[in-house]
Structure formats: structure tokens, C-alpha cells
């Protein structure tokens, strides 16, 4: 569920088909620069009511990395 939501957010941001994206997709492969990643981080923070630190954001390389952060926040709230 979290992965699906992240993929939807990424697809919308980059105007891509969700089928083109996976957990292993590198942000660099889809042309994401630092500003794009910052926008995605803010969207994920809003979507999952969470905070992502600057260090965590700087370490993001794949959709899976972003998904892992969101999943930890979701599981922490349970």
C-alpha cells in the first residue's frame, strides 16, 4: 500500500506511467534533481503525516528508499 502511494506520487510528479516505476527505480534514472526530491519528500510528509530529516532526504536514491522511510513512520503510529 505504501509503495503504491509513493509510486503514484512519483508518477504524478514526473508525468510518467506508474507501470514504468518500481521499488528499484533510481531517482537519477528518471531525471530527479535535488529540487524534485525535495518536492517528493514534502508530498510524502503530507501524505503520511510524517517528518523526513534533511539527512534522510539526502540519502534517498530509489523509490524503495523513500518507501522504507514512509513505512517506518506508518508502523510507528500503529
Domain ranges of the chain: 2-77
How many other C-beta atoms lie within 10 A of the C-beta of residue 4? 10
> What integer pLDDT is reported at residue 75 of this predicted model?
76
Q: Which residues are catalytic?
A: 33
Q: Which of 17, 48, 50, 13 is nearest to 33 (CA)?
A: 13
Topology adopted by domain 2-77: 1.10.1200
Integer CA distances (angstroms), 35 to 8, 11, 40, in order: 18, 16, 9
CA-only gyration radius of the chain, Å:
11
* Separation CA 74–CA 78 (nearest Å): 7
Q: Which pLDDT score is estimated for 76? A: 74
Per-residue pLDDT at 74 = 78
Residues of the chain with pLDDT under 50: none
Structure confidence at residue 78 (pLDDT):
56
Q: So what's the pLDDT on residue 72? A: 87
Amino acid at each position: 500500500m505504501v509503495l503504491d502511494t509513493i509510486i503514484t506520487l512519483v508518477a504524478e510528479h514526473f508525468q510518467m506511467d506508474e507501470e514504468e516505476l518500481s521499488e528499484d527505480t533510481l531517482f537519477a534514472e528518471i531525471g530527479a534533481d535535488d529540487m524534485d526530491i525535495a518536492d517528493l519528500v514534502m508530498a510524502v510528509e503530507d501524505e503520511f503525516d510524517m517528518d523526513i530529516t534533511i539527512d534522510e532526504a539526502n540519502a534517498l536514491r530509489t523509490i524503495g528508499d523513500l518507501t522504507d522511510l514512509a513505512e517506518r513512520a506508518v508502523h510507528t503510529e500503529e
